[in-house]
Every structure is written in C-alpha cells, then in structure tokens.
Amino acid sequence: MAVLDDLIEWIGGGRGTGERTRVHYECRHCGTTLSKRDTTCPTCGSDEIAVIPL
C-alpha cells in the first residue's frame, strides 16, 4: 500500500502544512467504501481500489 500512500501524499503536496487532504477509498469493481488500510474489497475480493481526493 506504500504506492497508494505516496500517491495521496503527492496529491496533497501542494497544500499548506496545516491542511490535510480528505480522501475517499472505494472498490472500482463494486463501489464498496473502503478504509485506507484495505488492500482488497471484503465484498467482492477485488484489489482495484479507487483513491478519490475530496
């Protein structure tokens, strides 16, 4: 999941140090909402996770 964390850091990299980037994690296959720590979807087993900055 390190690549995912790097991507999130890169997306929020242009913001001030006091701001945190809000991110939504979702299974690309079935749309189940996931947590940052999920590596596979508990509903369908897919490992394709969408990272959506809010």
Q: Tell me if 34 sits within 8 A of 25, measured CB to CB.
A: yes
**Secondary structure (DSSP) of the chain:** -HHHHHHHHHHTTTS-TT----EEEEETTT--EE-TT-SS-TTT----EEEEE-
Please give the mean pLDDT across all residues of the chain: 83
- Tokens at 37, concatenated: 């720590």
pLDDT band at residue 43 under the 50/70/90 scheme? very high
Domain encompassing residue 17: 2-53
What pLDDT is stored for residue 15 in this prediction?
A: 52
Q: Tell me if 16 sits within 8 A of 25, measured CB to CB.
A: no
* Overall domain count for the chain: 1
Average confidence (pLDDT) over 11-25: 68
pTM comes to 0.61
Average confidence (pLDDT) over 36-44: 95
User: What gap in Å lies between CA 37 and CA 14, rounded to an integer?
Assistant: 24
